[in-house]
Amino acid sequence: MTTQTIAFLNDAFLPIEEAHLSPLDRGFTFGDGVYEVIPVYNGRSFCLDAHLDRLNQSLNSIRMQPPYSHEKWTHILDTLVKKNGAGDQWIYVQVTRGIEPKREHQFPTQVIPTIFAVSYPKVYLTKAEQAKGIRVTAVTDIRWKLCHIKTASRLAYVLMNQEAKEAGFDEGIIMNTGYALEGTISNLFIVRHGVIYTPPKSTQLLHGITRDYILGLAEQHKIPYRESKISERDLLKADEMWITASTRPISPVIEFNGHTIGNGKAGPMWDRLWDLYAGQVNNLSMSVSN
């Protein structure tokens, strides 16, 4: 028997089949909204405050007021996770500028946001499964200039990701003027001579929560890292390469553009960071299989 998925829509919990949105919602007509994806381990949201901080930053960037406090969001999302069976899940949250009676480019005079959230079961990969690695390719940047905002307007990312998938790769690495910025659904890291490198924060890439968490672990354990530009040559000469994302924390890359990275296997730095990440998750009474 299939368990019914519960969603949250505008202050109400209801079955996902009953969560109806107006075609006049600006999230539909303009992609005028922002979103977050939050991992859940053993019924507990991971780095929730950091995700909510970024949600508020994205809202402020598109000139919207955050609809709820962190405390109210925490109550809503904890309740949602419980209603959907707890365990390992992932949460999707989206806030749009709401419905207007007539499609106009300028903001509506009265903004009543549409607030939506849903969570789904998630089987997180074990360390052994992750260690098999993924293959990535370069894709040309076709995005707008404010990529640090986690906007619901995702068409450019969809097209770049599809380009990589149709070429037979697991992910695309976005290149702009010869430098790597991030993946189409991930942040990027390489390792050279025992030092971790990742592109610096800017308007050209999303400031990933998992990215920052990994750098925090590196700093805590005195692992050298640098935030600096990464060229295509740097990628080809990397000893290790990884991508990070909320629902796939640290994925080793074994091939870039048909070129083998390192020895074609997950490297020792990835192995160490995976264990540190999993240890932190387990310390918070969450579950990550090793």
CB proximity list for 39: less than 8 A, separation 6 or greater: 45, 46, 47, 89, 90, 91, 122, 124, 246, 247, 249
Catalytically annotated residue among 72, 82, 83, 150: 150
Verify whether residue 150 is a known catalytic residue: yes
Token pair listed for 65? 């007021």
For the annotated catalytic residues, the residue numbers are 150
